[in-house]
Structure 1
Amino acid sequence: MFLDVLDLRNFYAQSLGRITAHYIYQRIRQHWPNVNGLSILGVGYALPYIRSMRTGAERTLVFMPARQGAVYWPSDGASLTSLVDPDRLPLPDSCMDRIILVHMLELVDSPADHLREIWRVLTPGGRLLIVVPNRRGVWARMEHTPFAYGRPFSKGQLTHLLRDTMFTPVRWSEALHFGPFKGKSWFGPARWWEKIGARLWPAFSGVLIVEATKLLRQGLPSKEANLMQSSFRPVFLPVPNLPNSAAKMPMRNPFFDWQGDDHWIDED
């Protein structure tokens, strides 16, 4: 179940949403301090975290699920956002250097299928950054935040999922150690709660952030197989005469017919 793009935009327009984006973005910049000259893709609702990366990056794109809807961004030029099917991204193989998933992996029907598609478009040696709700955290239980929807993850679950889809986790971090309270009186000391929580209760953070790299598996030739092959000589046989009316296998039509309630709204 995907959240509506209006709900996500309204959350990040509020005071709680702005503070949330601030502390998550701090952790993201620790993982990726320099993105100059790189191609970056944000999938889900990554606008609050990818906006400032646009200036130094070679190319910046934002893909949003068709069942969620999309906003027009940036407002001062051609749109860099697109509605997509999460399991069929409209990109060629190995074309993006950095990919960030926010409000995405916990909401898709099949996280493994989506990560395999992310693996396809990520360059060899490229980096994937995933932000997901922490199963142990309070934020996964407070429905006035978007992190309370979908399936939250633990570190163990996310590690198994990444390894099953040929990714290797290389670095972990946490964010949102303060409570998701609406009162403005909590926003001032949120900085102190974030520092104290990172030291005293990191396992109960609101979100988990994991950086992973694309794993390439290569088969090694067997020495036994090489020795056996060298002891035989090739024998050329005549090609049999096949009837001209041999049946041909039907080809699958690659056309993909998307049916869904796609909708767009303008981002102010």
Structure 2
Amino acid sequence: MSTNADIIDLCDFYASPLGITAARSISLALSPLWRPISEERLLGLGYATPYLSRFEGGCERCLAFMPAGQGAERWPAGQPLRTALVGIEEMPLGDSSVDRILMIHALEFAENPEALIAEAWRVLAPGGSLIVVVPHRRGVWARFEHTPFGSGRPWSRSQLTGLLRSATFTPHAWGEALLFPPFRRRSLLGFASALERVGRKFWPIFAGVVIIEAVKQLHRGIPVTSAAKQRKVAKPVLVPAGAGAGARAMLCKRET
């Protein structure tokens, strides 16, 4: 079991030269996976705000949920608050209420990874996508504790695939990032972009993070257990919806 990252450490890291370079590397790897969803409802889980700011354009709404054990920051600056401190295994959202989830700095710290993925499946709309970014078990970054990617439980591709398939997610696309060492010295970060390009060709198996996009399947049944019956259900923030405006309209036609 791993403890959550601390919000102060996360903020400090992403404000540092190494953190800025790391966010750029991961964002470039996310871009090919970010298929447009019309009027989507986007949810960031863990500490996703450095990336939500880059990908929220065109969203109907965008929220950032941060684990209670981690702490939360105010986001976005100078605008109405869109962050919430939650138990990410029992989120205050209705079933099928968001179109896309970006999960980063979350799964590696989860006490119960299966419950976290099951909760993501519950709130995700049919046909919606879950994008997970986790430290790579074979990567160099998982071996250094001066970045948040050196904390928590690192994952391999096969472990992550098995976890997602157990919740009837279908892995759709893969990516990797952080193919340069986590340099402490600012002067060495000038080589990061070149090493990232070379690393994608020659040593992708040693990437610092692995990224996967998985699609929610429609055939999964959610068993009603005695524990589920006793669980206090928070009032939903969002109402159920399909995967984007087009899917929501299609679902309405089917019902009529």
> Shorter-chain TM-score: what band?
0.7 to 0.9
Q: For the Cα contact (< 8 Å) 1:63–1:83, is it kept in 2? A: yes
In the alignment, what sits opposite 2:12? 10
| Other structure's SS at 2:109 match | coil
In the alignment, what sits opposite 2:195? 193
Deviates more, 1:57-66 or 1:26-35: 26-35
In the alignment, what sits opposite 1:109? 111
Superimposed CA distance per residue, residues 139-190 of structure 1 (whole angstroms, 9 cap, x where no aligned partner): 0010000001111000110111011111110101110100001112221121
Pairwise CA RMSD: 1.6
Distance 1:184 1:218, change over 3 A: closer
Q: Which one has a larger percent helix, Structure 1 or Structure 2?
A: 2
TM-score (norm 2): 0.84
Tell me which of 61, 64, 68 is aligned to 1:62.
Answer: 64
Q: Percent identity?
A: 47
Q: For the Cα contact (< 8 Å) 1:39–1:60, is it kept in 2? A: yes
Tell me which of 209, 216, 226 is aligned to 1:214.
Answer: 216
Task: State how far apart, in whole Å, the 2-side matches of 1:185 and 1:96 are.
Answer: 42
Distance 1:63 1:179, change over 3 A: same
**Structure 1 residue identity aligned to 2:105:** H
Task: State how far apart, in whole Å, the 1-side matches of 2:216 and 2:103 are.
Answer: 15
Task: State how far apart, in whole Å, the 1-side matches of 2:220 and 2:50 are.
Answer: 38
| Residues 155-166 of structure 1 aligned to structure 2 (within 5 Å) | 155-166=157-168
TM-score (norm 1): 0.81
Q: For the Cα contact (< 8 Å) 2:168–2:220, is it kept in 1? A: no
| Other structure's SS at 1:187 match | helix
Task: State how far apart, in whole Å, the 1-side matches of 2:193 and 2:175 are.
Answer: 17
- Displacement of 1:114 in angstroms is 0.4
| Other structure's SS at 2:176 match | strand
Task: State how far apart, in whole Å, the 1-side matches of 2:107 and 2:40 are.
Answer: 23
Deviates more, 1:9-18 or 1:73-82: 73-82
Task: State how far apart, in whole Å, the 2-side matches of 1:174 and 1:52 are.
Answer: 18
Task: State how far apart, in whole Å, the 1-side matches of 2:30 and 2:175 are.
Answer: 9
In the alignment, what sits opposite 1:254? 232
In the alignment, what sits opposite 2:21? 19
Q: For the Cα contact (< 8 Å) 1:35–1:53, is it kept in 2? A: no
- Displacement of 1:27 in angstroms is 1.1
Q: For the Cα contact (< 8 Å) 2:170–2:215, is it kept in 1? A: yes
Matched, 1:140 2:118: no
Tell me which of 66, 72, 78 is aligned to 2:74.
Answer: 72
Greater C-alpha Rg: 1
Matched, 1:87 2:89: yes
Task: State how far apart, in whole Å, the 2-side matches of 1:218 and 1:66 are.
Answer: 29
| Other structure's SS at 1:3 match | coil
Distance 1:181 1:167, change over 3 A: same
Count of residues paired in the alignment: 225
Task: State how far apart, in whole Å, the 2-side matches of 1:112 and 1:118 are.
Answer: 10
